[in-house]
Amino acid sequence: MLGFDLHLKPNTYFMNLTDRDRRHLWHPYTQEKIAPPPIGIVRGRGVWLYTEDGQKILDAISSWWVNIHGHAHPFLNQALARQANELEHTMFAGFTHKPAVELAEKLVAILPKGLTRVFYSDNGSTAVEVALKMVYQFWQNRGEQRKTFVALEHAYHGDTFGAMSASDKSAFTKPFVPLLFDILRAGNIENTDQIFQENSKQIAAVILEPMLQGAGGMIVREKQFLLDIRKLCNQYNVLLIADEVLTGFGRTGKMFACQHAEISPDIICLSKALTAGYLPLGATVATEEIYEAFLSDDRMKTFFHGHSFTANPLSCAVASASLELFERENCLEKVAFINRKFNERLPQLSNLDCVSDVRIIGAVGAVEIVSDDGYFADIGQTLYQEFLSRNILLRPLGNVLYFMPPYVIQEKEIDWVLDEITEVLENINRRFSRK
Ligand SMILES: *Cc1c(COP(=O)(O)O)cnc(C)c1O
């Protein structure tokens, strides 16, 4: 006997998911006291999510930026089921398996040149932690005292401690500031140059989100900046970490955002769309030079890092299948199509008084709304609710509304979402102009 009742209590049977959720769950980035109740999702197909109440919602932000081929894709489902029948998981220290090997081979073949050593972990934050620890120990293994990281203003690299340290200060990190390690914060290239000059022998690496700073507000960067940073890193013998957790796998119009500037970082961090939004998986891919600094008869030079689910076979199998689908379905062309639609329709929104900026890159279209301390400070929440009532999931970052759909979205669906965005913003603008 288990000593507890596995069967649902009779009253539970009649409760909906939302109410059962409210009794025991705690949600990410959610003020549970004032947030509206979570919506029960029972099914996903393509760009659509289906609620337990029978509502059909278009997933216009790719379920927090992870989905690219749509929900419950038959080809990915099949790859997952096949792998589950073969091997669901095994530890990765001392063992290996086909899904991990195949995925590494495929990644190395498409990544910027020189990135050849794949270290798996669980998510975007761990991919960043691994990169930071790898770099920090790399210099020690080489006998150099380079212990400082440079990161950018508006950066976001994840929610674990190293990743939070690298991220710019925000409401997300505020309670933890005393626990974070010091970072040299750069805004532009002149500023970075100066930081390099003043700390040339202490800097271990620069970490940045190439071309697009996501959570910092969908800020699009010039490719010249990336080129200049690569040059500075070469000049000062500093490593470059590209956090492509968001930008990887076509999101900015190239397979990897570094390819806009045709540069190779020394380390790249991948997650999110790596598994097409199916399962958690992170990959930190380094150069042979970095890998070789850990090869030694001295066991203390080992990279002592790993997670229980490192290289999970189910995650790796789906990631491999996603890359196959990516090529077969010409995903980069789909992204180019989405980009053209965004460029046709979004820039004209700048004519509205309530819109302060429009930014577009690849399959990301962002509209920044003028915000003040009054009513419009809550504009993000207002927009979220308004779009949900129109059957669209758009969840603004503060006052930045962005459209980032799975690549499988159809033209008529893009048009419909753009029509709705236009109408909602025109309504807001009427109220805004009257103030
Ligand atoms: C989302 C994100 C992360 C963190 O990934 P998680 O899987 O949420 O931990 C790190 N870096 C960037 C650029 C991201 O967008």
Distance CA 43, CA 72 (A): 8
If you average pLDDT over residues 251-274, what whole number do you get?
98
Residue among 168, 243, 278, 402 flagged as catalytic: 243
Token duo for residue 162: 């190293």
CA distances from 12 to 22, 24, 40 (A): 12, 13, 15
Task: List, for residues 168-200, the tens digit of each pLDDT value.
Answer: 999 889 999 999 999 999 999 999 999 999 998
Residue 435: burial class (beta carbons within 10 Å; 0-12, 13-18, 19+): exposed
Active site residue 384: no
Token duo for residue 420: 């709705």
Distance CA 109, CA 107 (A): 5
Q: Which of 265, 161, 159 is closest to 210 using CA atoms?
A: 265
Active site residue 182: no
Percent of the chain with pLDDT over 70: 95
C-alpha of residue 233 to centroid of ligand 1, in Å: 24
Query: Can you tell me which atom of ligand 1 is nearest the CA of 160?
Result: 9
If you average pLDDT over residues 366-392, what whole number do you get?
87
Residue among 120, 122, 272, 341 flagged as catalytic: 272
Token duo for residue 64: 């927090």
First-to-final CA distance of the chain:
67
- Kindly tell me if the per-residue pLDDT of 113 is higher than 70: yes
Question: What amino acid occupies position 108?
Answer: V
Interhelix angle 223-236/189-198, rounded to 10 degrees, is: 10
Q: Assign 214 to helix, strand or coil.
A: coil
Active site residue 29: yes
Question: Residue 15: pLDDT band by 50, 70, 90 thresholds?
Answer: confident
Q: Around 412, how many Cα atoms within 13 Å sit in the side-chain half-sphere? A: 0
C-alpha of residue 310 to centroid of ligand 1, in Å: 17
Question: Residue 433: pLDDT band by 50, 70, 90 thresholds?
Answer: confident
What pLDDT is attached to residue 374? 55
- Kindly tell me if the per-residue pLDDT of 1 is higher than 80: no
C-alpha of residue 346 to centroid of ligand 1, in Å: 26
CA distances from 26 to 23, 29, 62, 272, 404 (A): 9, 10, 22, 22, 26
What pLDDT is attached to residue 216? 96
Active site residue 334: no
Task: List, for residues 232-250, the tens digit of each pLDDT value.
Answer: 999 999 999 999 999 999 9
Distance CA 269, CA 284 (A): 5
* Arithmetic mean of pLDDT over the chain: 95
pTM: 0.96
